[in-house]
Structure 1
């Protein structure tokens, strides 16, 4: 992480006086990029056998809707702009693929490598990555470098989530809500076992004075999406945040640029931030593609977050700042 340091003695006037008094301070800023719901296309060739499952409904949806509303040239422009912003870390909250075909999963691995090495990019899976039974396990193996915590434990078992990565003074905690579901369903699940492990990680990182970012695919907010796409275990998740606290929660799934707040520790509210699909084209029902950029600085009890959305700003597909704000935990 690039830290900015100022020695007050290098300035004149008031700064020189402060230097004479022996004052010295360091200002840390951590830049975190967040995007989601890549849905890399086009679909590879698919066999009749592969369609003999829930994939038939997804395939029809791709042909009728998603294929027309996604512009993969936009994904390239979004990622180019994101990398030009030089984030210290990238958080990707799921749905890299569409039907979780083997070729899609491998293509997504190569695409992740184009973003950066595993230690610079953190991924949590989405419902499309777990589209049919067995798909999530394949994604975990293929994308292991991007889902492995600092303890080095590979994300192949049920206890691999949540994982923890500490980068400078920021704790990135990856939660998995992904699971295979029945046709016409896209729900997620947050289990009791995962809740217990999440609480322990939040306590440990709070004791270390870290800024805690929780990444999850499904929004942990009631009413954020309709019943067939909801997260089961919202109450359990919110109870953990209320008891143990967090500073920022990132999610995908809805393809919408939203900011909600849920209750954290000691009555503090925690921002819950969603994002448009990274490849969403102009002119569709959902907001066009963008990513979130956070600049985090401060200290426990006084964190500051400068938050901007960067994405399509005109009909020609130019990328720029869509909106910006200060977004911090608060009462």
Structure 2
């Protein structure tokens, strides 16, 4: 059995001191949003407690589906790089960027340099100068982890993502390759690849392409973030249904409009044609103040059913 933990939307705080030049951009809207809302809702202690609870589960691997930072300043990106090292070594942690990590022009390139080793596929592992390219493929035990990027800078008041043709073709190719190797295929993407899962100004552009890649290549599981919600949806494919699972923001406290901090513990067992997947969500309890098991979801691929 292989176990994988899933977290998303870390939004590391507090915000560093911003210069007037840094604020003279889309960051000004995000700065006020942080001061009015996220500063109160996202807490360092909440995130640390989540990571302690996650460590107790001792997963084989950790998947992080984006938004480590808030305004993608140089200081935030560097701090997030140090945080990643504290979470685990790059071969045990797979990361993709979110829209906040590409908040303004130039941020995406800086993120790729600072978080480099956590976003490299097997073919480039250990190569310090290897360029970051999405999608990437990592093989871990019986599992293939395919990391896609929907992160792009967008105008003020928008948080859209994109999934373009080139990435769709490569994703389908990697999925086929992993399937031929007899691996359980997990795709990571920040924005939910499900219609109406996010508001129009926060949607993924290219959902049809993503679904086509999944249908063409074959896929057992999709993980995403962005909505700060605990969700389970499905993509219908010729091979059957593919679960699409989202998770609450890792640093979210209780008492807000969105559900509190949570992580998914995903167990994979079986073999091709007879895979079994068990997902148990652990979430911050308002009553106890602890991270506790909250709900579970099982999916049998041979039967194409959930419970």
Same-fold status (TM-score > 0.5): yes
Matched, 1:205 2:185: no
Partners of 1:93 and 1:252 within 8 A in 2: yes
2:257 to 275, 279, 285: 285
Greater shift in the superposed pair: 207-216 or 299-308: 299-308
Partner of 1:195: 168
Partner of 1:305: 277
Aligned to 1:87, what secondary structure does the other structure show? coil
Q: Distance in 2 between matches of 1:44 and 1:244?
A: 43
1:146 to 102, 115, 118: 118
Q: Distance in 2 between matches of 1:157 and 1:97?
A: 24
Matched, 1:323 2:295: yes
Partners of 1:141 and 1:156 within 8 A in 2: no
Q: Report the TM-score when normalising by structure 2.
A: 0.95
Partner of 1:123: 95
Partner of 1:85: 57
Aligned to 2:123, what secondary structure does the other structure show? coil
Partners of 1:91 and 1:123 within 8 A in 2: yes
Q: Distance in 1 between matches of 2:198 and 2:130?
A: 29
Partners of 1:313 and 1:321 within 8 A in 2: no
Partner of 1:95: 67
Matched, 1:39 2:11: yes
Matched, 1:114 2:89: no
Unaligned stretches of 5+ in structure 2? Answer: none
Aligned to 1:151, what secondary structure does the other structure show? helix
1:159 Cα deviation after fit: 7.2
What's the RMSD between the two structures over aligned residues?
1.5
Aligned to 2:157, what secondary structure does the other structure show? coil
Q: Report the TM-score when normalising by structure 1.
A: 0.89
Matched, 1:243 2:185: no
Q: Deviations over 1:116-157 (max 9, x none)?
A: 100000000000000000001101110011001001177999
Partner of 1:178: 151
1:164 to 137, 142, 149: 137
1:243 Cα deviation after fit: 1.7
Partners of 1:39 and 1:95 within 8 A in 2: yes
Matched, 1:219 2:153: no
Q: Distance in 2 between matches of 1:301 and 1:41?
A: 44
Q: Distance in 2 between matches of 1:115 and 1:159?
A: 21
Greater shift in the superposed pair: 310-319 or 56-65: 310-319
Structure 1 residues 328 and 39: CA distance shift in structure 2, 3 A: farther
Greater shift in the superposed pair: 156-165 or 199-208: 156-165
Aligned to 2:63, what secondary structure does the other structure show? strand
1:315 Cα deviation after fit: 3.0
Q: Distance in 2 between matches of 1:256 and 1:273?
A: 10
Q: Distance in 2 between matches of 1:50 and 1:316?
A: 40
Partner of 1:262: 235
Q: Deviations over 1:66-109 (max 9, x none)?
A: 11111221100101111111100000000000000111001111
Count how many residue pairs are aligned between Structure 1 and Structure 2.
Answer: 302
1:314 Cα deviation after fit: 3.4
Partners of 1:147 and 1:163 within 8 A in 2: yes
Runs of 4+ in 1 over 4 A off after TM superposition: 153-159
Greater shift in the superposed pair: 249-258 or 235-244: 235-244
1:264 Cα deviation after fit: 2.4
